[in-house]
């Protein structure tokens, strides 16, 4: 799914790396077959694109002459804005349940003690402290290929861009801001809200 998102975003290099990793992995046969099919389609598309670019280049060179130094081909002015690369990922993120707050921030550290754990997330100027009983009580998903393996307690080096969902704490006497429901690791350039 993440490789497909990168394909839609136009990052073929990252998509290819991820698909090749899936093909070599011990994933389900159907998943590996799907990844291999996508790789094949990517190769065919890239080949066709290269051939089209070469043909256009030839026709441009052939069009020069007739007393001018200008190519015959015209540049099409496309006034539509480029697509928002974050829009694809926003569509697949977990939707917050009723009573939950969704926010984007930076996961700075995970503090663990006998009572459970606290995820410390920098959200703009605010430092949120969100409690969870254990890793099993949180939905954890990664859409960032740099985040691999187990997630443990301690400082996050480097810190990770995350989208979190939590139930805010009404009791201000407690030293936490809420109960964490989900953590989704996203690429550093991701924007939770579309830019106006």
104 shares its domain with 172: yes
CA proximity to 9, closest of 80, 81, 85: 85
Does residue 193 lie within any of the structural domains? Answer: no
- In this prediction the pTM is 0.59
Alpha-carbon distance of 166 to 14, in angstroms, equals 31
Distance linking the first and last C-alpha atoms of the chain: 27
Q: Which domain holds residue 35?
A: 2-63
Q: Is the pLDDT of residue 25 over 50?
A: yes
Does residue 6 lie within any of the structural domains? Answer: yes
Does residue 7 lie within any of the structural domains? Answer: yes
What's the pLDDT tens digit per position in 147-181?
Answer: 877 788 999 988 999 999 999 987 767 789 999 99
Does residue 13 lie within any of the structural domains? Answer: yes
Does residue 77 lie within any of the structural domains? Answer: no
Count of domains forming the chain: 2
Contact yes or no for 160/120 (Cβ under 8 A):
no
- Residue 139's domain is classified under what CATH number? 2.40.50
Q: Which residue has the tokens 């990793």?
A: 21
Does residue 85 lie within any of the structural domains? Answer: no
pLDDT at 74: 45
What's the pLDDT tens digit per position in 87-131?
Answer: 878 888 899 999 999 999 999 999 998 889 999 999 989 999 999
Contact yes or no for 153/117 (Cβ under 8 A):
yes
Q: Predicted confidence band at 55 (pLDDT cuts at 50, 70, 90)?
A: low
β-pairing, 139-142 vs 154-168, is unpaired
């Amino acid at each position: 799914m993440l490789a497909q998102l990168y394909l839609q975003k136009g990052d073929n290099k990252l998509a290819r790396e991820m698909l090749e990793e899936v093909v070599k992995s011990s994933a389900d046969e159907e998943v590996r077959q799907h990844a291999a099919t996508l790789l094949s389609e990517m190769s065919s598309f890239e080949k066709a694109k290269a051939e089209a670019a070469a043909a256009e280049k030839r026709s441009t060179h052939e069009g020069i002459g007739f007393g001018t130094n200008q190519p015959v081909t015209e540049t099409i002015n496309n006034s539509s804005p480029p697509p928002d690369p974050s829009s694809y990922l926003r569509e697949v993120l977990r939707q917050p349940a009723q009573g939950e707050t969704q926010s984007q921030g930076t996961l700075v550290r995970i503090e663990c003690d006998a009572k459970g754990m606290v995820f410390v997330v920098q959200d703009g100027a605010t430092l949120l402290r969100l409690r969870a009983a254990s890793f099993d009580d949180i939905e954890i998903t990664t859409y960032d290929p740099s985040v691999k393996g187990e997630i443990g307690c301690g400082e996050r080096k480097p810190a990770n861009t995350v989208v979190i969902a939590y139930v805010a704490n009404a009791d201000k006497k407690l030293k936490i801001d809420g109960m964490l429901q989900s953590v989704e690791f996203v690429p550093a350039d991701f924007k939770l809200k579309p830019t106006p």
